[in-house]
Structures are given as C-alpha cells and as structure tokens.
Structure 1
Amino acid sequence: MHFSSVLSTALWVGFVHGYGAPGACSGACNIHDPSLVQRESDGVYFRFSTGNKISYASSSSIEGPWTAIGSVLPGGSSIDLAGNDDLWAPDAQVVNGVYYVYYSVSTFGVQDSAIGLATSDSMDADSWTDHGSTGIKSSSGSSYNAIDGNLFNDGGSYYMTFGSFWQDIFQAPMNGDATSVASSSYNVAFDPAGTHAVEGPYLYKNGNYYYLFFSAGICCGYDSSRPAAGEEYKIKVCRSSSATGGFVDANGVACTDGGGTVVLESHDNVYGPGGQGIFTDPSLGPVLYYHYVDTNIGYGDGQKLFGWNAIDFSSGWPVV
C-alpha cells in the first residue's frame, strides 16, 4: 500500500463516526428511494421517488418546501411484466437537454424485472412519455435482478449500473442517447456473505476517482421486524480510477469481494439510511441524499423521510 493510501485511510478513520444530522426538509418529505435533478431553464429542484407510479415534487431549494406534482406515469408502464402499475426506484438525469427518469418494473423478491425509461422536455405535469424497456431485464436464474438503475455519463459514453441481491451490482454500456442497452453487462460489486444484501448503486465522479455508492443490509419492514443491530440499511462506497470496474474500499478490498466502506449508517435518531444518490448542488457542492426513518416518529415504510448531507471528499473518501 502506498503512503498516500495509508494517509487517506487514516483520515477516513478519524471522521468515520462523526455523522451530521440530516439537512432541513419541509413540505412533502415522506418519500422512499429519492432521486434529484434541477431544471436547466430556471434552477427549480425536482425530486422523484418510489410509489404512485413514480411520485415527483418540486422546490426552489433542496430544503423545500417540497410541493407534490403527481405521477410521472399515471397509467403505469408499457413493459409487460407484473408490477408495471407499481414502479420503483427512479433515477433522474439530464441527457442532451432532455429529462430522463429510469424506473424499475418488478415485484418484491423476484427476478422478473426490467428497467424502463420515461422522458420529458420540461418535467411539467403530464409531460412524460413512456419509452418502455431499456433492454436491461432479468428473469429467474439470471445473475442479477434488473432493478435500481443509475445512468452515468463518462465523457459522452453512457453506462447503466444496476442490481439488487443475487450477484448484486452489475453495469452495462448504453447506446449514444442512453435509451437502450448496447452490450453485455458485467459485475462491479458483490458481497459473498449471507443473502448478498447489496443494491441501489449510484456512480459519481469527484476529482480523479469514480465513486460507487450502494445500499447494504435490510431495507424495509422495520415496524414489524427490526433486524439485528448493524444489519439494517446503510450506505457504503468503493472507488476506482475507471468508471467500469476495479472498485475497492478504503482498505483496498475489492468491491466484488465484499468490499465497501461505510459512508452513513444509523446514528442518533436516524435509522436505516439508504436508497441514496449524489447531487452536485450549485451552492452546497456534492450532496448525499437518501431516505431514512426518524426513530422519534416511527419505523414504518410509509414514515420514511427525505434526508441529505453535504459531503467532503478532501480526504479522497466521502465524509458526511
């Protein structure tokens, strides 16, 4: 290990337990699996989330007040799979000036799944067009579950990173306008232990490194069956000098061999943070956003809240 790696790891260890409280949120703050994007014309924030056939809301600030707009696809998806009227895990991006929202069609715990796409020129209500499947799909016996998609633009080359449990996180190149898969997928993160509870990837570049964030642990149902301490959702990260693989954690453990350094976990009244993304805020800089339950309010899935914290990458690893 090089001295620079030892130093960055030491800096990381010094910060690891000092988690800040989530940033303020007002208005419509009960959400699951958030995704953030800003409209280029006026800087308005739009936040998408699981439920109501992809719910979305707008605000003049990341703090709110968030105002509900409605559903991205009120008629559901054209993808011919069970769950096409109950869409999951949106990923909002801007591609060549058009607003893209990728979504998952599936039912809980099965592999009959696909990642679809809806687009809009404005993000106004009733402006979305469903394009159906991106071609990223899975069925029983597949290596992965084709949900939780996240698009990454690497200098004009597009990649979709996705996956949940089974053999965890995969990535596939996309075509030139990021509407469909271009070639075969490959594994970028895998936890060989237990139930392989890794999902929800999000790829973000800072400086010379590509950071692969993901959620690990048990996500849901805390009000009926709380997991053993430490087994609930948390946010982890690995990094690489390439967007397409070679991700390792702060100890040098490969992300494909159980690696993953904790970025945010349960603390104080915050429990089970996950379903994360990274947003470059024009005034705050890089921001980690996620959902969590506030133990002072309740543990139900419907009680999950929108959380966010600014991130410091100065040590070479993201610190909340």
Structure 2
Amino acid sequence: MYLPTLAASTSLLVGVAYGYGAPGACSGACNIHDPGLILRESDGAYFRFSTGNRISYASAPSLEGPWTAIGSVLPDGSSIDLPGNTDLWAPDVQLVDGVYYVYYSVSTFGSQSSAIGVASSETMDPDTWTDHGSTGIQSDESKVYNAIDGNLFSDGGSLLMSFGSFFGNLYQAPMDSPTSVAAESYNIAYDPAGEHAVEAAFLYQNGDFYYLFFSAGKCCGYDSSMPAAGEEYKIKACRSSSATGEFVDADGVACTEGGGTIVLESHDNVYGPGGQGVFTDPTLGPVLYYHYVDTNIGYGDGQKLFGWNVIDFSSGWPVV
C-alpha cells in the first residue's frame, strides 16, 4: 500500500451502526497487516500470509484459529534489486497446477520504484520457498501506475495479474505463467478525485460475475495522523461479466470513472478495514478477509487485527 500525506485531524469516527456484521472470531496470532489466505490441499490446513518479517505466515486448523506463526517466506529478502527488497509487502497467495505461489511487493512508501515479485513452494512448509524475483511487472516515474499489491486470478486457465496503488490506480496484465508477465497492462479502476486513493485489487468470481474488490482511502498511521472522517480505509467493489472488465458499481458507474460500491467501512469498534481478499471456505462459502484496527485497543499499525465476514451474494452484490 502507498501511504499518502494527509492533514492531521482530531475528529474520530462517531460510533454509527451501518448494519455490518462484527468480524469473525480469531485466536492465536491475530495481529497482522495485508492478509492473504489459502487452504492446503493435502490436509485442509489454513495458511495466512501478511506484511512484515519478509512476508510472515501462519497456519490454523480453521478460519477462527488458533493461528500459529510459522516464520518468514523469504528470510533473506527478495532477489529484486530495488529499495525495499528486505522489507516486502502485501502478499497474495494462489495455487496453480499443484504449486503455491506467494506474490509480494518491493517498494518504499510513496515511491513508484516498485516491482511485484513471486516465490513458490509445493508444500508451504518452512524453508521450502524458492524466490523467482520479479514477475516483470515493474514501475518507475515513467509509468502511470505503481507496481505493488499484486493479485493473480485464473480465468479458466488464463492467468491475469491485477495490481496498483494510487497514481493511476488499478491495472491488469495477462501472464505467460505464474512467474512471468505476458503483455502490457491496462487500466481497470481509477478514482479521479483527490489523491486517487485506490489500491489492493482482488478479483473473485461468483456466478456469472467477476467482482473487483479494492481498498480506498488512507491505510495507515492512524495513531499519528488521523484522516478526516470517511477518508480512512474502506472496502469497495465493482463487477463485470468479464474478468478483464469493464467493471461497474451497483449504480452503473464505471470503476474507471470513480465507481465503487462500499462493501465494508468503519463501524462500531471496527476502523479502517482494508487490505482485503476473498476466500471460498469449504464450510462457510465466500468469506471477505481483511485487516482493521479495534478502536477499543488502539490505532497503531502494529495493532491491526485479522478480520473476516461471510459474504452474501444473493442480491448480486457482496453484502457482509
């Protein structure tokens, strides 16, 4: 995610009920940022990846936990020769042809000197990850986009990478393989207003529609600089009958023209939910997962928690 500079505000969220469900239960290692979630096919264990510790990951017997920290995907950092290659952000995890791929971002806050890298493992066990370096999706100041926050999607075997943060917002590119981009990218979402605060694309298919989930607003640093009410992180979605767009919101506004229907925003003691993904749980069905801060605990980035809610698609739009 990109951390913009916003004017400090002393106004805090007023506790207004929006009808959202409370986050599902979580026990064990629940303090995380930018979660990525998958089931291991061999034993049904849950694996969760997150920003920090050169991509931290944990496992659990269920979505609720207890989550047990495993360690780091890339303890030596990335082979990508860019600033931030020993930090690594915003993991996305996908299974392709029996191999687990974790995509990660190499960058520094506010910089377009960025790349999306990938590591793979057949088991996700500790010390089994191979770093493949850059996928070929990279950016610098000559680009209209920022190459971070990657999400891989398989559309009937055709691989697509959605990515982007602020700047030109969200882009998508076809992939030759899970480790290599095939062609130039194209824009799939853009908010022309303000600081263009859109990032963290995640594509999910339900029925006849492809849903583009994304985070909008300020993600981080709430304990030092509170955004104005409503400008904090929230989760939005657009949909299309094609995985490549054109995505529109529930009012028919194009996602490339500022469209986006709110799926989850601050409510009750939940503040700034975002960094999301969607996961098909074998028991619960579609689940929206994300990080958030609990206003009863604190606003620090290190205090962010793993949250999840079951999604109801019966209206044609995701409701939690």
Taking structure 1 as the reference length, the TM-score comes to 0.94
CA deviation vs aligned residue, 1:110-135 (integer Å, no higher than 9, x gap): 00000000000100011100000000
CA deviation vs aligned residue, 1:191-232 (integer Å, no higher than 9, x gap): 000000000000000000000000000000000111011000
SS of corresponding position for 2:181: coil
- Asked if 1 retains the 8 angstrom alpha-carbon contact of 2:101 and 2:178, the reply is no
CA distance in 2, matches of 1:26, 1:17: 26
Q: Which amino acid in the other structure matches residue 191 of structure 1?
A: D
Taking structure 2 as the reference length, the TM-score comes to 0.94
CA distance in 2, matches of 1:71, 1:188: 32
2:119 maps to 1:118:
yes
CA distance in 1, matches of 2:264, 2:68: 27
CA distance in 1, matches of 2:59, 2:178: 25
CA distance in 1, matches of 2:277, 2:255: 18
The alpha-carbon deviation at position 141 of structure 1 amounts to 2.8
Q: Which amino acid in the other structure matches residue 235 of structure 2?
A: I
- Asked if 1 retains the 8 angstrom alpha-carbon contact of 2:70 and 2:126, the reply is yes
Q: Which residue of 2 aligns with 1:31?
A: 32
SS of corresponding position for 1:231: coil
CA distance in 2, matches of 1:256, 1:214: 13
- Stretches (4+) displaced over 3 A: none
Q: Which residue of 2 aligns with 1:286?
A: 286
Q: Which has the higher helix share?
A: 1
Q: Percent identical across equivalent pairs?
A: 79
Q: Which residue of 2 aligns with 1:10?
A: none
Which gives a bigger RCO, structure 1 or 2 (Cα 8 Å, sep 6+)? 2
Q: How does 1:134-283 map to 2 (within 5 A)?
A: 134-175=135-176, 177-283=177-283
SS of corresponding position for 1:37: strand
The alpha-carbon deviation at position 178 of structure 1 amounts to 1.7
2:64 maps to 1:85:
no
- Asked if 1 retains the 8 angstrom alpha-carbon contact of 2:152 and 2:162, the reply is yes
The alpha-carbon deviation at position 18 of structure 1 amounts to 1.4
Q: Which residue of 2 aligns with 1:307?
A: 307
- Asked if 1 retains the 8 angstrom alpha-carbon contact of 2:287 and 2:308, the reply is yes
CA distance in 2, matches of 1:270, 1:17: 11
- Asked if 1 retains the 8 angstrom alpha-carbon contact of 2:238 and 2:247, the reply is yes
The alpha-carbon deviation at position 151 of structure 1 amounts to 0.3
Q: Which residue of 1 aligns with 2:60?
A: 59
CA distance in 1, matches of 2:285, 2:18: 22
Report how many aligned residue pairs link the two structures. 304
Q: Which runs of 5+ in 1 are unaligned?
A: 1-15
CA distance in 1, matches of 2:124, 2:151: 19
SS of corresponding position for 1:256: helix
- Asked if 1 retains the 8 angstrom alpha-carbon contact of 2:57 and 2:70, the reply is yes
Q: Give RMSD over aligned pairs.
A: 0.7
CA distance in 2, matches of 1:137, 1:47: 25
SS of corresponding position for 1:315: coil
Q: Which residue of 1 aligns with 2:4?
A: none
CA distance in 2, matches of 1:151, 1:98: 13
